[in-house]
Structure 1
């Protein structure tokens, strides 16, 4: 969590982007996905990117993950150039699990990649599955799981390296409404309990307000951040999230964010 004795403006940013641009295509026919993006995320923040399709949300997340290099500008994660797997866990819209491996096999592979000794992996697998609400599932085949369970395994895999930064690209978009709500609540509580820094991409104003401590609204043509909405909803681990959803403040913030997005 952020140090309480340091003013927010003086905290060292976990994510620091300055005037970042991302372009695709050829030199003769370039496509600008992002232009002039400045972004700073401090330790313990849950920042949500929201906006229409094509506004560059995923491109921005890929820059932070180290999957893309900016065409111009400066990108740093904890003061270093972003690199895949360097201190950041990533959860995609689709789980992307290995279907020929069991649940435990998928997690064991992730643990092996970060150098966890073979003898320690079974214990870590049990801990990870308990953390995401799937105790006793290590021996199950991934194709035996529901979509929500598969996404929980993907989250456990991202948490295997105990990352300080968690990047989530519309991870619940393909799930049914009930499963989506349940996982939203669990991720909100888990992030608070572990003190993780999160960058989360969504199209949904409701999801953005529920999860984020700060919401950034993006627009296309080219992709850029056009507005910021601080969210002051309670974030303690014992917060009743169901009651939060029906609160007047939640409705006000959701309405305000929808208004900004439409504008």
Structure 2
């Protein structure tokens, strides 16, 4: 079901992700560091929620909690009503592609498909479909080191989509890319998530990227990490497929300004 930017009524359906009073701490008792403290977060199916804030405010920590890589010291974390577990039900895309360099593009995708129980006979067709989705048709036989950085990140996104996850967790996936490639992938991810109805939790430092992608933006502050502001993004993205026109619209500029102001507050 395609995503829209209208929010579901509270309580209408079970949240795709729910964090209640979540705190995460690191280190021994006498030197314990609080990464995040008392965070409450509800993400409904089909939402594209963006976390923004300064380095060290706990954005990645919350994403890791949702992925099942971290356990809260206090509070509860639920994904579709159950305890999050690594590799189950969520696709994760990191800042770096983290592909297997000894495998081909198809081999990387095939490995992910095998892990999720896709029969060997079905994998070639699925690999071709995944590469088509991310704009890399016909590159299954290529080695990953032969690809550009942007192409490698597309393969990483395709790998995350291999299990057709209902939840996609993205940790600054475009931070290391050049501006042109970053803009292209921003549009591809936004369009892909809308078409598939995927729920997305996306981490970034950029106010512009947050407004461009998100249906809702949460602003975090550090010491300890916590959510301090929420900004709905009611842009009508169905009215135009022209990202340049969207970026230059008065509504976009207004929302970006509001978000930038919220990020600068103490």
TM-score category of the 2 structures, normalised to the smaller one:
over 0.9
Number of equivalenced pairs: 263
Match of 1:219 among 218, 221, 234: 221
For the pair 1:192 / 2:206, whether they are aligned, the reply is no
Q: CA deviation at 1:234?
A: 1.6
Match of 1:245 among 239, 244, 247: 247
SS in 2 for 1:28: helix
Q: CA deviation at 1:86?
A: 1.2
Match of 2:209 among 202, 207, 210: 207
Match of 2:83 among 81, 103, 111: 81
* 1:20 match: 22
Q: Distance in 1 between matches of 2:147 and 2:88?
A: 29
* 1:261 match: 263
Alignment of 1:107-146 (within 5 A): 107-146=109-148
Q: Distance in 1 between matches of 2:152 and 2:65?
A: 26
SS in 1 for 2:141: coil
Which deviations, in whole Å up to 9, do the C-alpha atoms of 1:212-237 show, x marking residues without a partner? 00000000000000000000112339
SS in 1 for 2:24: strand
For the pair 1:182 / 2:187, whether they are aligned, the reply is no
Q: CA deviation at 1:259?
A: 0.5
In structure 1, stretches of 5+ residues that fail to align are none
Q: Distance in 2 between matches of 1:155 and 1:237?
A: 26
* 1:46 match: 48
SS in 1 for 2:17: strand
In structure 2, stretches of 5+ residues that fail to align are none
SS in 1 for 2:155: helix
Whether the 8 Å CA contact 1:189–1:237 is kept in 2: the answer is: no
Q: Distance in 2 between matches of 1:248 and 1:11?
A: 34
Cα RMSD of the aligned pairs, angstroms, is: 1.6
Q: CA deviation at 1:238?
A: 5.6
Q: Distance in 2 between matches of 1:7 and 1:90?
A: 27
Which deviations, in whole Å up to 9, do the C-alpha atoms of 1:9-58 show, x marking residues without a partner? 42210001000000001011100000000000000000000000000000
Change (3 A) 1:157 1:203: same
Q: Distance in 2 between matches of 1:178 and 1:47?
A: 23
Q: Distance in 2 between matches of 1:240 and 1:9?
A: 34
Change (3 A) 1:82 1:8: same
Match of 1:97 among 96, 99, 112: 99
Stretch of structure 1 that moved more, 233-242 or 102-111: 233-242
Whether the 8 Å CA contact 2:240–2:246 is kept in 1: the answer is: no
